[in-house]
Amino acid sequence: MNETELFDLLFRSYYQQLLTFAQQYVSDSDECRDIVSAVFEDLWRNFSRIDHQHVRAYLYTLVRNKCVDHLRHRGARQQYVDFVRILSDRFTDSDTLAEEDERRHRVRMMLAHLKPPADTIFRECFFHQKRYQQVADELGLSLSVVKKHMANALRILREKYLKKEQ
């Protein structure tokens, strides 16, 4: 019997059994068919190197491993979907957007109480996310002056914020 005939015999003998075995791991029958087909594809590619006396164990091991890989991949994909859903809920929730707009408005109102250069330093650091050293270099100030103005600005904003909350 040549390799093609032997492979065909193995396929007819084990396909249904392997499909049933795969369904113990994966509930979707289409996915199970894909897994078992991939196993026979692997078998065909490696047919000349496989010990034909142990082909049954080889097939069952491959099916089990591919099912586990499929479940692992599906779990990772589901975690990603859940993560994206949480993020999209966070940024599309109208209450959250309204609260964010209110906070921005309150920050703008509080910033009106800052005097130059503290207002410029604060805006550059927080709104443009620049480092203190970068702001110091751009404004021609020392790092310690930038830090002093930031501390003062934060103190003023805290005081204004606490007055609003009371």
128 or 23, greater pLDDT? 23
- Do 7 and 54 lie in one domain? The reply is yes
pLDDT in tens, 47-58: 889 888 889 999
- Do 101 and 132 lie in one domain? The reply is yes
User: Which of 33, 61, 91 is the C-terminal boundary of a domain?
Assistant: 91
Asked whether residue 91 carries a pLDDT value surpassing 70, the answer given is no
Euclidean distance between the first and the last CA atom of the chain, given in angstroms as a whole number: 91
Length of the chain (residues) = 166
Q: How confident is the model at residue 32 (pLDDT cuts 50, 70, 90)?
A: very high
Mean pLDDT of 80-104: 62
Quote the domain boundaries for residue 157: 94-165
Query: H helices within the chain, ranges in order?
Result: 3-23, 29-45, 55-92, 94-111, 118-126, 132-139, 143-165
Structure tokens at 48: 């000349």
Stretch among 14-18, 101-105, 110-114, 118-122 having the lowest mean pLDDT: 101-105
Chain-wide mean pLDDT for the chain?
83
pLDDT at residue 155, as a whole number: 83
CATH number of the domain at 22, please: 1.10.1740
- Do 110 and 63 lie in one domain? The reply is no
Mean pLDDT of 57-77: 86
CATH number of the domain at 124, please: 1.10.10.10
Asked whether residue 62 carries a pLDDT value surpassing 90, the answer given is yes
pLDDT at residue 156, as a whole number: 81
Mean pLDDT of 114-122: 87
Looking at the structure of the chain, the number of domains it has is 2
